[in-house]
Amino acid sequence: MNITFALDDALVAAAKSLAARQNTSVNALVRSALEHQVALGGGGSPAGAASGVLQELLDYSAGSRPRAVAMQALGISDYGVFLRLLNAAGLPHPIVPMTTRRQMADALVKVLAAQAAKP
């Protein structure tokens, strides 16, 4: 959807400069800022909204919430915005549990063994 905004010339110039430094577009900057504001403003008070955002990020970081579910709960469609929120909160990316990594490795070994056994 296209939307027209009335913006101060100095703000537009600063936005263009920032976009150039970040190798992106003004459109992408505006979209990212709006998604961030919508995610933070989703529930009641700003403090309540912020704690809801933090809880979603904590759940994702701990590996108890899939990325798609956390992003949907926060109203974010851009993974880059989601990663910036995670980084701003100082949270690590989730790590696949060791048991799951072992299962994945075992499955890979079986696939490779089956490929090697083929004539």
CA distances (Å), origin 102, targets 41, 48, 79, 105, 117: 40, 39, 27, 5, 22
What does the pLDDT look like over 46-91, one tens digit per residue?
444 456 788 889 889 888 888 999 999 988 888 988 988 888 888 8
Contact 53, 39 (CB under 8 A): yes
How many folded domains does the chain comprise? 1
Assigned domain for 49 exists? yes
Assigned domain for 40 exists? yes
Assigned domain for 3 exists? no
Assigned domain for 60 exists? yes
Q: Any long-range contacts for 63-67 (C-beta under 8 Å, 24+ apart)?
A: 63/94, 63/95, 63/96, 63/97
Assigned domain for 75 exists? yes
Backbone φ and ψ of 92, nearest 5°: -80, 160
Q: Which domain holds residue 89?
A: 9-94
pTM over 0.95: no
